[in-house]
Amino acid sequence: MLGIETSCDETSAALLVGERSRPELASLVILSQDVHRVFGGVVPELASRAHLAALPAVVERALVEAGVGWHAVDAVAVTAGPGLVGALLVGVVYAKALAYAGDRALIGVNHLEGHLFAPLVEDPQLEPPFVALLVSGGHTLLLDVPAWGRYRLLGATRDDAAGEAFDKVATLLGLGYPGGPEIERLAATGDPTRFTFPRPMRDAGFEFSFSGLKTAVLHAVRGSDDLERDRPHLARAFQDAVLDVLVTKLERAIQATGYRIALLGGGVACSRALAELAARRLAGCARVAVASPRLNADNAAMIARAGWYRLALGERSDWTLDARADLPLPGLEPATLPDLTPHP
Ligand code: KG4
Ligand code: ZN
């Protein structure tokens, strides 16, 4: 299975090989587009162009690293959404052309379902039921996952995504893009008692809100008479606030479901601080399943793994497969827990 991911600013290709129930990662190539650093965020048109220039070489490289030729590939899995539509389109059109010309199976994959499958690449024993916290630059979702392919939405963000909050606060602090890793690095040297930020919506329900927290950081930055001195402390207080909210909701969902596994996925799950806090607070109740950082950030291995699962069910896409910026997660079911939607 060749996987292709171009939904945002990573051009990635991967190969999964092996038996039907036990695929192994044979190669993973991730090319991060540096061009966006100059602008402090992803510029969609530049992302599309960079994907177009890089994708053929990235796919070729993944084949070489896996030690297989194109003839060994049975199927092509590609991210069809959600994401930047122009960026997605490059991957979708490329995958369609490859599959059509070579008469191979084509399978369009939902990017968020890809993030859910990331831990399975390294931990083949991982099985639902579990609660999943998907935290990326574009999404913040808490899901009850009773089985692969069945997703009950417990809560989402009402405004900014968790990763977006990290990126915006990093900008306020004068740090580079993407902000999450920079904040985590700086926070490690910060004093957690110097500043305290609010924990929006922490004490009720499963929904999230981060835009007020961002404003609180803005006021603290403006009120600082020495930003150089305060920067690590501000980063620490902000990170503590976000992680406290995320992990409190995760704990609440584990208690409500009685599940024994909490899965972390998405770019923010690269945060060691998040994984450590979740493991500490859930000790005795649930184990934390989280992939290594390479597989949490946007990558084609997770897309290939989700595609592998869908293909094994007998699903495949036809030649009308299209990129969709707002592609909904397949298999979404209504939430069944009581007290899940405390807000209208
Ligand atoms: O999943 P992802 O690679 O792309 C999207 O699908 O959005 O997530 C990227 C997000 C960025 O907002 C980035 O700041 C955040 O993940 N991120 C982190 C860390 N590493 C990446 N946030 C907090 N701490 C980190 N160590
Ligand atoms: Zn992502």
Query: What is the model's pLDDT at position 48?
Result: 97
Kindly state whether residues 142 and 174 are assigned to the same domain: yes
| Average pLDDT rounded to a whole number, residues 206-227 | 97
Q: Which ligand is nearest to the CA of 267?
A: 1
| Average pLDDT rounded to a whole number, residues 130-138 | 97
Kindly state whether residues 188 and 115 are assigned to the same domain: no
What band does 38 get if pLDDT is binned at 50, 70 and 90? confident
Kindly state whether residues 72 and 156 are assigned to the same domain: no
Query: What is the model's pLDDT at position 37?
Result: 86
Mapping DSSP to helix (H, G, I), strand (E, B) and coil, where does residue 192 land?
coil
Kindly state whether residues 57 and 107 are assigned to the same domain: yes
- Compute the distance from residue 195 Cα to the ligand 2 centre, in Å: 30
Q: Is residue 308 part of a domain?
A: yes
| Average pLDDT rounded to a whole number, residues 17-33 | 93
Q: Is residue 42 part of a domain?
A: yes
What atom of ligand 1 comes closest to residue 170's alpha carbon? Answer: 14
- Which segments of the chain does DSSP mark as H helices, in order? 44-66, 85-102, 111-122, 162-172, 179-187, 211-223, 227-257, 272-282, 293-296, 300-312
DSSP state of 6: -
Query: What is the model's pLDDT at position 344?
Result: 47
Residue 221 has pLDDT above 90, yes or no: yes
| Average pLDDT rounded to a whole number, residues 33-46 | 90
Q: Which ligand is nearest to the CA of 164?
A: 1
Q: Is residue 339 part of a domain?
A: no
- CB neighbours of 217 closer than 8 A, spacing ≥ 6? 169, 172, 173, 197, 234, 238
Residue 212 has pLDDT above 70, yes or no: yes
pTM value?
0.95
Q: Is residue 342 part of a domain?
A: no
Kindly state whether residues 166 and 285 are assigned to the same domain: yes
Confirm or reject: Cβ of 8 under 6 Å from ligand 1: yes
Kindly state whether residues 197 and 76 are assigned to the same domain: no
Query: What is the model's pLDDT at position 339?
Result: 56
Residue to mutate, 33, 79, 242, 268, ligand 1, most ligand atoms under 8 Å from C-beta:
268
Nearest to 26, CA basis, from 58, 51, 57, 62: 62
Taking only the tens place, the pLDDT of each residue in 45-64 is 999 999 999 999 999 999 99
Residue 340 has pLDDT above 60, yes or no: no
Domain containing residue 91: 2-119+296-333
Taking only the tens place, the pLDDT of each residue in 298-328 is 999 999 999 999 999 999 999 999 999 999 9
Kindly state whether residues 85 and 179 are assigned to the same domain: no
- Compute the distance from residue 267 Cα to the ligand 1 centre, in Å: 3
Contact between 80 and 321 under an 8 Å Cβ cutoff? The reply is yes
Taking only the tens place, the pLDDT of each residue in 139-190 is 999 999 999 999 999 999 999 999 999 999 999 999 998 999 999 999 999 9
Number of domains in the chain: 2
Residue to mutate, 166, 264, 272, 326, ligand 1, most ligand atoms under 8 Å from C-beta:
166
Taking only the tens place, the pLDDT of each residue in 234-277 is 999 999 999 999 999 999 999 999 999 999 999 999 999 999 99
Confirm or reject: Cβ of 297 under 6 Å from ligand 1: yes
Q: Which ligand is nearest to the CA of 303?
A: 2
C-alpha 275/C-alpha 135 separation (Å) is 12
Kindly state whether residues 152 and 203 are assigned to the same domain: yes
Q: Is residue 324 part of a domain?
A: yes
- CB neighbours of 286 closer than 8 A, spacing ≥ 6? 131, 254, 259, 260, 261, 262
Residue 342 has pLDDT above 90, yes or no: no
C-alpha 222/C-alpha 262 separation (Å) is 38
